[in-house]
Chains A and B, each alone.
Chain A
């Protein structure tokens, strides 16, 4: 075997590992210390409003998850079993919604709903459902596609009608996929932050919102830390339960690759396709359409004034609103450029190290995945309270925000590149060695050239994550240097139709940019080899 020398692997790994320790492990430890202060825990848990927040977080997540599952199963069946005009478009719209930043989703629902429903918990649940529909449809449809249709037909020949077949055969067999999807939706809605901040009434608080409120508005760091840890504990329990349940219910089903989808033949089937497919498409397209429409609507009729006046923060001569949309775009672009650079550089080094070190690389790989399991709010909060005293008082440093965002994007960069690097045939290095290349030269000639393509994809992914990031940014962005998501939240929280319209303009710009970036990522996935694919399905970061 001709492996790159150990010293090279160590050299590659040291940078990313150090970054992980400084910007993830250390803040996390600080958070733990802050939270484990006995007084903080006791007083936080005893407060009645903590119990209220916990109860609200829990029930809205449970209801959101249940409704998402109920709404997603029929379309999942349709997508898995039928070929119909617009099937690909439907999947594309679902994916587009799925990758939107949380703030944009909140804005889209705010734009869609009538004023009577605005700022209600039902609006929040509706947004959660539409947002996460893709998780259920994609996860369940993928398994359903591989479930032999003849098994359902066998039940029908034994006298089971449609519902009975679903209840007795399909749903029990799909249970691992359903449980998996439910766990993901629950985790996303339990940690909901952006949607709540934009869409819910000011007093509505999930644990995430409460952590942010206590930390930044009330200065109760101990309480915020205690709640962060409480949330992490709940998430760990749910994730553990999901893994256990999936293992327990996984069966040796004779899953067939690529069952043939069929066209609807009977009138009943055609009607079902139109109703379920059309209904789902409508539900998905409506919020995005409303967003664009509202950016052109003013009390006096249609106008492009919100678009034209983006760069003018003065709503009347001399009266400024404190948020300059054009400035926010500039700040976001600069932050995004740095965050992408940091994430791609660290991710590239880490991937090369992980692929070269094989077994020892697993530890680094695992460590770099940790930020996925930690909410963005927790990451931002941890960084904020760690780097606030000399000699590491970095709160005013321009680079702290991009570093925080890069940390969130890093797992996705590593996932995208490592898979490709790992799939390189080791005998290629051997071949290079037989031609006279030293180990490091063989590595340089054989492995490194494979890095660029997945890295471009990873860069697009990191850019999309950074542009839409809201959780960590809420803690790390400085006043006067708001990013687009922060500006959207501020603008939509104000009264005044021009400000609202400007909020919708920014949300539209962010939505389109994110979707374009993710389309690029998705397209390139088809040309990337390797088993690991990022940016799809459950591999999503919540921003």
Chain B
């Protein structure tokens, strides 16, 4: 089930330094939006505000038309793939992918079946029992994506998901990523500083500096 995401006049500052200033953004249900901008421009901060990891100093976040600004992360139905994956090192690859299902109270056999299904979908058939610390960079990325999508979020946030991969793998994964996201029909915000990547994956591309009021 995909749903819309809306940011209204969102402002975040760290101490005296404003990071996001009066940002307004709308993402349609099922849309894949790429958010571009140089490093330090607040792209990741924006994702964290949507995920509820960071509370904005001002403004509102709406998911599916409902204000979620005060809702804790785990109740927002927002999945996120972190820049450095953040796979849980004390769990197997399969248990990582099944983590969201476990939180939903789904039984062990069903979790296992669905986790393996997702692993197969991202091209990692038979990787279930592996330790995540033994995965290569590309494999870890796929596991992180499978883990996020397996939980069935209504919104997916991708924070520079392909950074740090070699060119070859990067291009291949970019193509696959678009397919997987469209297959899951999930509203997506993709943060990147790579125009080509944005074009390869997203339906629409916006630049973060275009989201706030014009700077004077």
Contact residue among A158, A169, A252 (Cβ-Cβ distance under 8 Å from B151): A158
Give A250-294 as 1s and 0s: 1 = Cβ < 8 Å from B's Cβ atoms: 011110000000000110000000000000000000000000000
Interface check B55, CB cutoff 8 A: yes
Q: What B residues does A148 contact at CB under 8 A?
A: 84, 86
Cβ-based interface call for A156 (8 A)? yes
- Find out whether the CB atom of B99 lies under 8 angstroms from the CB atom of A150: no
Q: Interface code A163-181, partner B: CB below 8 Å = 1, 0 otherwise?
A: 0100011001100000000
A153 close to chain B: CB less than 8 A:
yes
Could you mark each residue 328-352 of chain A with 1 if its beta carbon is under 8 Å from any beta carbon of chain B, else 0? 0000000000000000000000000
Judge if A321 is at the interface, Cβ distance under 8 Å: no
Set A151, A153, A169, A172: member contacting B73, Cβ < 8 A: A153
Q: Chain B contacts of A164 at CB under 8 A?
A: 74, 103
Q: Is the interface of A mostly helix, strand, loop or mixed?
A: helix
Known interface pairs A150-B84, A153-B73; A251-B89 also in contact (CB < 8 Å): yes
Q: How many A-B residue pairs have CB under 8 A?
A: 73
Q: Check B103 against A254 for contact (C-beta < 8 Å).
A: no
Closest B residue to A156 by CB, please name it. B73
A426 at the interface (CB under 8 A from B): no
Q: Name the residue on A nearest B85 (C-beta).
A: A154
Which of chain B's residues have a CB closer than 8 A to the CB of A156?
52-53, 72-74
- Contact stretch, chosen from B16-24, B75-83, B167-175: B75-83
* Chain A: minimal CB distance from B58 (Å): 12
Digitize B18-45: 1 where CB-to-A-CB distance is under 8 Å, 0 elsewhere: 0000000000000000000000000000
* Residue of A154, A265, A266 contacting most chain B CB atoms (<10 Å): A154
Q: Collect the chain A residues with CB atoms within 8 Å of residue B89's CB.
A: 173, 251-254
Specify which chain A residues have a CB less than 8 angstroms from the CB of B86 in the assembled complex: 148, 150-151, 153-154
> Closest approach, in angstroms, between the C-beta of A539 and any C-beta of chain B?
28
B161 at the interface (CB under 8 A from A): no
Q: Is the CB of B72 within 8 A of A161?
A: yes
B81 vs chain A, min Cβ distance (A):
9
Contact A159 B100 (CB under 8 A): yes
Verify if B51 is at the interface (C-beta below 8 Å from A): yes
Contact A254 B73 (CB under 8 A): no
- Least distance between B52 CB and chain A CB atoms (Å): 8
CB closest residue in chain B, given A260: B14
* Residue in B55, B147, B157 whose CB lies within 8 Å of A158: B147
Q: Are B104 and A251 in contact (CB under 8 A)?
A: no
The number of residues on chain B lying at the interface, defined by a beta carbon within 8 Å of a beta carbon of chain A, is 27
Choose among B54, B99, B157 the residue that contacts A265 (Cβ–Cβ < 8 A): B54
- In the complex the two chains form, is B133's CB within 8 Å of A158's CB? no
- Bits for B44-68, please: 1 = Cβ < 8 Å to A, else 0: 0000000111110000000000000
Asked whether A159 lies within 8 Å of B74 as measured between CB atoms, the reply is yes
Q: At the interface, yes or no: A238 with Cβ under 8 Å from chain B?
A: no
Bound: A265/B53 CA distance, A: 11
Closest B residue to A252 by CB, please name it: B133
Asked if B127 lies at the interface with its beta carbon under 8 angstroms from chain A, I say: no
Given A158-B99, A158-B148, decide whether A254 and B84 contact each other with a Cβ distance below 8 A. yes
Question: How long is the Cα–Cα vector from A372 to B54 in the complex, in angstroms?
Answer: 46
B88 touches A157 (CB 8 A): no
**Nearest residue, chain B, Cβ from A149:** B53
Cβ contacts under 8 Å, A161 to chain B: 72, 74
- A509 contacts the other chain (CB 8 A): no
Distance of A151 from chain B, by nearest CB (Å): 5
Query: 8 interchain pairs (CB within 8 A)?
Result: A150-B82, A157-B73, A158-B79, A159-B103, A159-B151, A161-B72, A173-B90, A252-B89
Question: A153-B53, A168-B99 given. 15 additional CB < 8 A pairs?
Answer: A148-B84, A153-B51, A153-B73, A153-B86, A154-B88, A156-B52, A156-B73, A156-B74, A157-B53, A158-B99, A160-B99, A164-B103, A169-B88, A252-B89, A254-B84
- In the complex, the 10 A-B pairs of residues with the closest C-beta atoms, listed nearest first: A159-B103, A158-B100, A156-B73, A154-B86, A157-B80, A151-B86, A265-B55, A252-B133, A156-B74, A266-B55
